[in-house]
Amino acid sequence: MAERKVSRRTALIAGGLTAGALVAGGVPLLRATLAAPADGPALPRHPTLPLHAGEDGVLRGELVATASGNSVRYNGSAPGPLVKLREGDRVRLGFRNDLDADSSLHLHGLPLAPAVDAPLTHLSPGATSTQEFAVPEGVAGTYWYHPHAHGDVERQLLAGLAGPIVVTGATDELLKACDDRLLMFTRTGRDISVNGTVRPVFVPTSGRTRLRLLNATAGDHLLVGVLRSGDRTPVHLVATDGGFVAEPVELTEVLLAPGERAEVLVDTTVAGRLELTALPYSVYGEGGAASTAFRLAALHVPAGLPPVALPARLRDVEALDEAKAARRRRIVFGGTGTDHFTLDGKTFDHHRVDLEARLDTLEVWDVVNDHTTDHPFHLHSYSFQVLSRDGAPEPRRAWRDTVNVPPGGTVTIAVPFRGEPGRTVYHCHIASHEDLGMMGVLEVVR
Ligand SMILES: [Cu+2]
């Protein structure tokens, strides 16, 4: 048995797993040459943005982007404060740009009207904006906010401008016995931070822990798994980008492309150490050079946490009927070299409308990656569902705003254009690609 374990670990070394997992597994292979990085501080919780209800019942709050040296902050913290909302809330969110560069506030993933999201509007230094909206029903989940000033998004993200949004709703009651943790990933220099700290640790307080995983990096794909003694332990996916899936789904890894979120439940009834790990992943397709695994965070599970039952059902996720699509389109990621990124052969021009769609119709889009690396496709204002990947039907229905498209791959999505018409954007969510023009303009008309 021990022999088999050692040989499996040896295979993992070949696969690029770091020594951290090896030492954690109690097998001191390579300890002399590769020390496991030490645990960081306790996982910080995000400060919550104060929201005050006016006499009209509308919740008011304000985010201010300020610079200090080379860093930029929302309301003085990086990540920015947690915007905590509930389905049905009416909100008036103010934003002030106190940077010396154009910026803006984009509420990533919330299906807001194009006029409210205003992704083509840049706010000059000193300018303000107000976004007023009602939080739609059925969107309870994990979202985030970040700047959308084309050309400078990557710099501002890397410098600290990003913050989390959590929307709660009735379905959350099914998970109220879980320890609910928000883990927001950003890149700080050579490390990936979690809530602003590197390799934090936390002690779960319930026998089941809900991890809200938020990839707020500017361009890092994170294939996330949970390891116990170096072995993957299954988790249950309960939510994707646009909120809950129909029922918990057992998985051993979750890919989070830049911008993407997923929520998983982890069994935390067995005392010991669990390591939330970024597993080796290749953005160059199958067989391409993969990243090396590294630890994101550790859970120190105490003894005696009572089990928490897994809900059998979470909610109904509407089925979209592909046969009713008014239109089928093909959208192609492309480009040449390392600094030329296109959508349908063109780079972004905010004066040009690239696609026109009709409100209250359903469209099916084949999003094709004709380039050499992964590109996460992101659409503003209109949530979509993945129908198939390279022709293989998607195993479950889920609402999304971001989906990864590997090189040579095709992801087919169904987009119902509901709510308000207007002019909005779709783009690659690797911020440098978007800044270099991998973005198009969509106009939804009545
Ligand atoms: Cu891209």
Query: Cα of 261 to ligand 1 centre, how many Å?
Result: 17
Q: Which residue has the tokens 């947690």?
A: 82
170-192: b or e for each residue (b if 16 or more CB lie within 10 Å)?
Answer: ebbebbeebbbbbbbbbbeeeeb
Residue 156 CA to ligand 1 centre (angstroms): 17
Q: Which two tokens stand for residue 401?
A: 């705003």
HSE of 360 in the Cβ direction (CA atoms, 13 Å)? Answer: 1
pTM for this model (two decimals): 0.91
Ligand 1 centroid distance, CA of 247 (Å): 31
Distance of CA 130 to the CA centre of its chain: 24
Q: Which CATH superfamily is domain 322-445 in?
A: Cupredoxins -  blue copper proteins (2.60.40.420)
- Average model confidence (pLDDT) for the chain? 92
CA–CA dist 293, 376 (Å, integer): 21
Structure tokens at 242: 């646009």
Name the stretches of the chain with pLDDT < 50: 1-33
Q: What length does the chain have?
A: 446
Residue-level pLDDT at 51: 98
Architecture of domain 172-301: Sandwich (2.60)
In single-letter form, the type of residue at position 177 comes to A
Query: According to the model, what pLDDT value does residue 34 have?
Result: 57
Centroid of ligand 1 to alpha carbon of 265 (angstroms):
30
Place of tokens 């026109």: 356
How many whole angstroms from 428 Cα to the centroid of ligand 1? 4
SS (H, E, C) the chain: CHHHHHHHHHHHHHCCCCHHHHHHCCCCCCCCCCCCCCCCCECCCCCECCCEECCCCCEEEEEEEEEECCEEEECCECCCCEEEEECCCEEEEEEEEECCCCECCEEECCCCCHHHHCCCCCECCCCEEEEEEECCCCCCEEEEEECCCCCCHHHHHHCCCCEEEEEECHHHHHHCCCEEEEEEEEEECCEEEECCEECCEECCCCCEEEEEEEECCCCCCEEEEEEECCEEECEEEEEECCEEEEEEEEECCEEECCCCEEEEEEECCCCEEEEEEEECCCCCCCCCCCCCCEEEEEEEECCCCCCCCCCCCCCCCCCCCHHHCCEEEEEEEECCCCCCCEECCECCCCCCCCEEEECCCEEEEEEEECCCCCEEEEECCCCEEEEEECCEECCCCCEECEEEECCCCEEEEEEECCCCCEEEEEEECCHHHHHCCCEEEEEEEC
Distance 294 CA to ligand 1 centre (A): 23
CB-count exposure of residue 285 (10 Å: 0-12, 13-18, 19+): middle
pLDDT tens digits, residue range 271-314?
999 999 999 999 999 889 999 999 999 999 999 999 999 999 99
Comma-separated ranges of CATH 2.60.40.420 domains in the chain: 52-171, 172-301, 322-445
Q: How remote is the CA of residue 130 from the centroid of ligand 1, in Å?
A: 30
CATH number 2.60.40.420 is the correct assignment for the domain at 52-171: yes
Tell how far the Cα of 434 is from the centroid of ligand 1, in angstroms: 7
For residues 357 and 442, the answer to whether their CB atoms sit within 8 Å is: yes
Say how many Å lie between the CA of residue 113 and the centre of ligand 1: 25
CA distance 386 to 396: 9
Residue 99 CB: number of other CB atoms within 10 A?
A: 23
Side-by-side strand order, sheet with 163-168 = 83-86, 163-168, 141-146, 106-108
Q: How far is the CA of 137 from the centre of ligand 1 (A)?
A: 31
Measured CA to CA, the distance from residue 145 to residue 81 in angstroms comes to 10
The rounded Å distance from CA 44 to ligand 1 centre is: 31
The pLDDT tens digits of the residues spanning 182-227 come to 999 999 889 999 999 999 999 999 999 999 999 999 999 999 999 9
Q: What's the CA-to-centroid distance between 346 and ligand 1, angstroms?
A: 13
Terminal-to-terminal C-alpha distance of the chain = 66
Q: Are 432 and 405 in contact (CB under 8 A)?
A: no
- 365 CA distance to ligand 1 centroid (A)? 17
Distance CA 259, CA 214 (A): 7
| Pair of tokens at residue 442 | 């969509």
Q: Which two tokens stand for residue 372?
A: 């050499």
Q: Which residues contact 68 (CB under 8 A, 6 or more apart)?
A: none
- pLDDT given at position 395: 96
